[in-house]
Amino acid sequence: MENCINKIIEGNCVEVMKRFDNDVIDLTVTSPPYDDLRNYKGYVFPFEEIAKELYRITKPGGVVVWVVADATIDATETGTSFKQALYFKEVGFNLHDTMIFRKRNPIPQIYRKRYNNEFEYMFVFSKGVVNTHNPILVDCMHAGLELNGTTYKNYSKNEQKREKLAKPVKDKKIKGNIWEYVVGKKEEDQEAKGHPAPFPCQLVRDHITSWTKSGDIVFDPMCGSGTTPRVAVELGRQYIGIDISHEYCDIARQRVNLIEMQPALFIMEEPTAEYDIAK
């Protein structure tokens, strides 16, 4: 296991994960091949085994972010994303949050009596209760105003109440769970242009800062162009990346090396304090 840390490993992730100890990974950020949409070299995708191995190797309180979308085949969406999410629950994960990755520049589609698809799911699974959450904060629209009351929803208790908790309204609040990114245009994303479906670096950055601390182990079992390892290095985390394709592993190693050789690029942020909604 030790010799896998801070490495990009070429192979079938199910086989490589078998070399890992139990309960070692703090965060996985990954995206599987979607319903055979893209023909990756050497494609083998044993989903159920991957989900079980991810559960075994994730630390208690650790998180898996699974970014996925459905193909439309014979006039119907396949529903694979939902089936996978429910299977993750079956193997023991909590479905902590169903988040949306909204593309600000979606690929225009041929009109097929449906609206242009512009999002993917980001299922956030946790092994028990989440250990680390450094919430991203955004500006409150009504900051400083003396409003009469705000409605708060407590999802765990399934209740919604109207209370005077914040008067005047605070400057910041916790960001919502629909995250928007431009795909493939930024310079840091152009590094991955030999791969057909890389993550935007900022999407990975937002998840790593949300769910881990400095020094934690961040994993991507299907790391493609290596976006997850690249951003993990930049943020002072340890990483493990696996991909079945020799060519993509080369791209991933180049991207990681580029960051490792330029320590000035490292962003060593201080963890934000746990956010207390009642403050």
Question: What residues make contact with ligand SAM under the rule CB under 6 A?
Answer: 12-13, 31, 33, 40, 43-45, 192, 195, 197-199, 221-225, 227, 242-245, 248
Query: Which lies closer to ligand SAM via its Cβ, residue 126 or residue 225?
Result: 225
Could you please report the per-residue DSSP string of 205-251? HHHHHHH--TT-EEEETT-TTTHHHHHHHHTT-EEEEEES-HHHHHH
Nearest of 218, 217, 226 to residue 258 by alpha carbon: 226
Residue 184 CB, shortest distance to ligand SAM, in Å, is 11
Burial class of residue 21 in the structure, from the number of CB atoms within 10 Å of its CB (0-12 exposed, 13-18 middle, 19+ buried): exposed
Q: Which is nearer to ligand SAM, 93 or 248 (CB)?
A: 248
CB of 97 to ligand SAM, least distance (A): 19
C-alpha to C-alpha distance for 105 and 164, rounded to whole angstroms:
40
CB nearer to ligand SAM: give 40 or 93: 40
| Residue closest to ligand SAM, measured at CB | 224
Name which of 93 and 101 has its Cβ closer to ligand SAM.
Answer: 101
CB of 258 to ligand SAM, least distance (A): 15
> Coil, strand, or helix at residue 196?
coil
Task: Kindly give the interhelix angle for 47-57 and 80-90, rounded to the nearest 10 degrees.
Answer: 40
Task: Please report how close the Cβ of residue 91 comes to ligand SAM at its closest, in angstroms.
Answer: 17
The label of the residue with tokens 């919430």 reads 135
Distance of CA 16 to the CA centre of its chain: 21
- Smallest gap from Cβ 102 to ligand SAM, in A, equals 17
Closest contact distance (angstroms) between CB of 273 and ligand SAM is 31
Least separation in angstroms between residue 238's CB and ligand SAM is: 18
Per-residue tokens: 103: 């593309």
- Tokens 């030999």 correspond to what residue? 194
Q: Which is nearer to ligand SAM, 124 or 244 (CB)?
A: 244
Half-sphere exposure of 130 (CA within 13 A, CB side): 20
Closer Cβ to ligand SAM, 11 or 92, answer by number: 11
Nearer to ligand SAM, 52 or 195 (CB): 195
- Dump the DSSP string for 251-262: HHHHHHHHHHT-
